[in-house]
C-alpha cells in the first residue's frame, strides 16, 4: 500500500522501493505516502481487535516488510491520579526504555529490507540505544555517534548490544557533522552504509506515527483536546500529526485535532524561541545545556514542520527549567507511581503552566507523553541528588532533598556501599 515518498517542502515524489534520504532538490523531509483509499476499503479499526499489542498491529498503514520487532508500542495510556481528564502515555515501557524504539524498529525493518549493512546515527542518547538493539536483532552493524556526556545507560547498552560507539566532545549537532564527514569516505557506498539520522530517512516517522494511532484507539477513536510532547528532534510530533491526517482520510476520525504542545528545556529551547518570535524556522541554540539529554537538540532538522503543526493545531510551545523538570520528575514518581525520564516529566511542568494560564480547562482531555524511563537517567538524577545536598539552594527539588540521609545508606542491607 506504500506508493511513494513525498517531499514536505516541494511536494516532489520519489520511489519508495529503494533507500532514500532527504529531497535532492531542497533537502526537505520525505514522508511515506500510501494508497489510503485502497486501505480504507480493506481495513477498519474493528479488525484491530485481537491483534498483538505492539505498534505492528497497525501494519495496514505501515510499509509492507518483515518487521524487526522487540515488542515495541501499544504502551499504557494511564489516567492521572492527580488531574482528572489527564492521561500519561508511558513510553518508558518500550524495549530499550524509550519511545525511540518505535522509530528505529520501523527504520531498521526497512534498512534490512533494502539490504543495507552499516547504519550510522548521531544521537542525544536514547535513539542510539534503540538503534543498537534493533540492529542487533536484525544482524546489522550500528555505528553510534553521541556526546561523551550522555547518560551512562546509553553508553553501556550500546556496548552490550555490540554497536560501534564513537563518543564526541560536543552536542548532537557535532555528532551529525561526524556522520556527514563519513559520507565522503570511499567505504560509504561500497559497504552499504546509511545515515538514519532523525528525519533524514523516511521510516522513523512511520514508526513514531503509531503513537497517534494508539492515542486514538486507546481513547475510543476520539481525539483529546491537547497533546503535550517533549520536543528534541520532534519526530513524534510529526508522526502523530501525519497519523491524524491519515486517519481522517481513512474515516477513522473526523476533522477534530488536538492542540499540539511542544515542551523544551529553557537551557535548549529553539522551537519555543522561534514560536514566540512568530518564525517559521528555528535558529541554532547556542550553548545548549540541560539535564534532559533528549532535549539537547540545538536545531531540529524538521523545525519548519514542527512549527507548522503548532500553528495548524492552535497549539503552543512552553519552556521548563531544569529545576522545574527535576521537581516534576520527583512529583510524578511520588504521586503517579511513574519514574519518568526528565524529558517526559517536562510535560507536567508545561501542563501546570497551561492550566494556570487558562490555555487548558480542567475538563479538557490532555495526553502527556512520558517518552522514556527514569531508570535510563540514574547517573544524571543521582548527580543532581548529590549536588542538591551540597548546595544551599531553595528550589523545591533541593528542599525535598535536604532532610534526607545519605542516599547510599538507605536500605543498607543491600550494600556493599
Does position 202 interact with Zn ion (CB under 5 A)? The reply is: no
Does position 28 interact with Zn ion (CB under 5 A)? The reply is: yes
CB of 25 to Zn ion, least distance (A): 4
Q: φ and ψ at 165, to 5 degrees? A: -110, 130
Return the number of the residue (13 or 148) whose C-beta is nearest Zn ion.
13
Q: Which of 17, 26, 256, 382 binds Zn ion (CB under 5 A)?
A: 26
CB of 280 to Zn ion, least distance (A): 16
Rounded distance, CA 360 to CA 364, Å?
6
Ranges within 133-162 binding Zn ion (CB under 5 A): none
Does position 10 interact with Zn ion (CB under 5 A)? The reply is: yes
CB of 19 to Zn ion, least distance (A): 17
Does position 352 interact with Zn ion (CB under 5 A)? The reply is: no
Q: φ and ψ at 359, to 5 degrees? A: -60, -45
Return the number of the residue (154 or 197) whose C-beta is nearest Zn ion.
197
Rounded distance, CA 279 to CA 403, Å?
46
Rounded distance, CA 357 to CA 16, Å?
45
Task: Please identify, among the stretches 18-26, 154-162, 169-177, 369-377, the one whose residues bind Zn ion according to the rule CB under 5 A.
Answer: 18-26
Task: Please identify, among the stretches 6-14, 205-213, 272-280, 356-364, the one whose residues bind Zn ion according to the rule CB under 5 A.
Answer: 6-14
Q: How many residues bind Zn ion (CB under 5 A)?
A: 7
Task: Please identify, among the stretches 15-23, 192-200, 315-323, 409-417, the one whose residues bind Zn ion according to the rule CB under 5 A.
Answer: 15-23
Q: Which of 23, 120, 165, 268 binds Zn ion (CB under 5 A)?
A: 23
CB of 29 to Zn ion, least distance (A): 9
* Residues forming beta bridges with residue 87, ordered by sequence position: 79, 367
Lookup: cell for 396 = 523545591
Q: Which of 2, 5, 6, 7 binds Zn ion (CB under 5 A)?
A: 7
CB of 10 to Zn ion, least distance (A): 3
Cα Rg of the chain, angstroms: 21
Whether residue 322 contacts residue 352, with contact meaning beta carbons closer than 8 Å, is answered with no
CB of 260 to Zn ion, least distance (A): 23
Return the number of the residue (8 or 313) whose C-beta is nearest Zn ion.
8
Return the number of the residue (23 or 88) whose C-beta is nearest Zn ion.
23
Return the number of the residue (25 or 222) whose C-beta is nearest Zn ion.
25
Task: Please identify, among the stretches 17-25, 271-279, 360-368, 396-404, the one whose residues bind Zn ion according to the rule CB under 5 A.
Answer: 17-25
Return the number of the residue (26 or 276) whose C-beta is nearest Zn ion.
26
Q: Which of 13, 25, 156, 314 binds Zn ion (CB under 5 A)?
A: 25
CB of 6 to Zn ion, least distance (A): 9
Return the number of the residue (10 or 335) whose C-beta is nearest Zn ion.
10
Q: Which of 1, 3, 4, 9 binds Zn ion (CB under 5 A)?
A: 9
CB of 7 to Zn ion, least distance (A): 3
- The binding site for Zn ion (CB under 5 A) comprises 7, 9-10, 23, 25-26, 28
Amino acid at each position: 500500500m506504500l506508493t511513494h515518498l513525498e517531499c514536505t517542502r516541494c511536494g516532489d515524489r520519489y520511489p519508495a522501493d529503494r533507500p532514500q534520504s532527504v529531497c535532492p532538490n531542497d533537502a526537505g523531509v520525505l514522508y511515506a505516502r500510501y494508497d489510503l483509499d485502497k486501505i480504507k476499503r480493506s481495513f477498519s479499526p474493528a479488525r484491530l481487535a485481537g491483534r498483538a499489542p505492539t505498534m505492528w498491529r497497525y501494519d495496514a498503514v505501515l510499509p509492507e516488510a518483515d518487521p524487526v520487532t522487540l515488542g515495541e508500542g501499544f504502551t499504557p495510556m494511564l489516567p492521572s491520579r492527580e488531574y482528572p481528564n489527564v492521561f500519561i502515555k508511558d513510553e518508558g515501557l518500550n524495549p530499550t526504555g524509550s519511545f525511540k524504539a518505535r522509530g528505529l524498529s520501523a527504520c531498521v525493518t526497512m534498512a534490512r529490507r533494502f539490504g543495507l549493512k552499516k547504519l550510522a546515527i548521531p544521537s542525544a542518547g536514547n535513539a542510539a540505544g534503540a538503534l543498537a538493539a534493533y540492529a542487533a536483532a536484525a544482524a546489522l552493524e550500528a555505528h553510534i555517534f553521541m556526546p561523551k556526556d550522555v547518560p551512562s545507560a546509553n553508553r553501556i547498552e550500546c556496548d552490550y548490544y555490540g554497536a560501534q560507539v564513537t563518543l564526541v566532545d560536543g552536542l548532537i549537532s557535532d555528532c551529525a557533522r561526524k556522520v556527514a564527514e563519513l559520507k565522503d569516505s570511499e567505504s560509504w557506498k561500497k559497504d552499504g552504509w546509511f545515515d538514519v539520522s532523525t528525519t533524514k530517512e523516511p521510516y522513523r516517522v512511520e514508526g513514531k506515527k503509531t503513537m497517534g494511532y494508539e492515542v486514538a484507539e486507546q481513547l475510543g477513536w476520539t481525539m483529546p483536546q491537547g497533546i503535550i510532547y517533549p520536543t528534541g528532534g520532534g519526530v513524534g510530533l510529526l508522526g502523530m500529526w501525519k497519523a491524524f491526517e491519515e486517519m481522517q482520510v481513512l474515516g477513522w476520525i473526523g476533522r477534530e485535532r488536538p492542540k499540539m504542545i511542544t515542551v523544551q528545556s529553557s537551557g535548549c529551547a529553539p522551537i519555543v524561541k522561534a514560536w514566540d518570535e512568530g518564525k517559521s524556522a528555528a535558529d541554532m541554540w547556542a550553548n545548549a545545556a540541560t539535564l534532559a539529554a533528549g532535549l539537547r537538540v540545538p536545531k531540529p532538522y524538521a523545525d519548519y514542520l514542527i512549527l507548522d503543526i503548532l500553528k495548524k493545531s492552535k497549539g503552543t510551545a512552553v519552556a521548563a527549567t531544569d529545576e522545574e523538570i527535576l521537581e516534576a520528575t520527583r512529583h510524578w514518581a511520588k504521586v503517579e507511581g511513574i519514574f519518568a525520564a526528565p524529558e517526559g516529566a517536562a510535560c507536567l511542568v508545561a501542563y501546570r503552566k497551561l492550566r494556570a494560564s487558562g490555555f487548558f480547562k480542567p475538563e479538557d482531555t490532555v495526553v502527556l507523553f512520558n517518552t522514556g524511563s527514569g531508570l535510563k537517567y540514574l547517573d544524571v538524577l543521582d548527580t543532581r541528588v548529590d549536588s542538591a545536598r551540597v548546595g544551599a539552594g531553595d528550589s523545591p527539588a533541593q528542599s525535598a532533598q535536604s532532610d534526607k540521609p545519605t542516599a547510599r545508606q538507605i536500605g543498607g542491607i543491600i550494600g556493599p556501599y
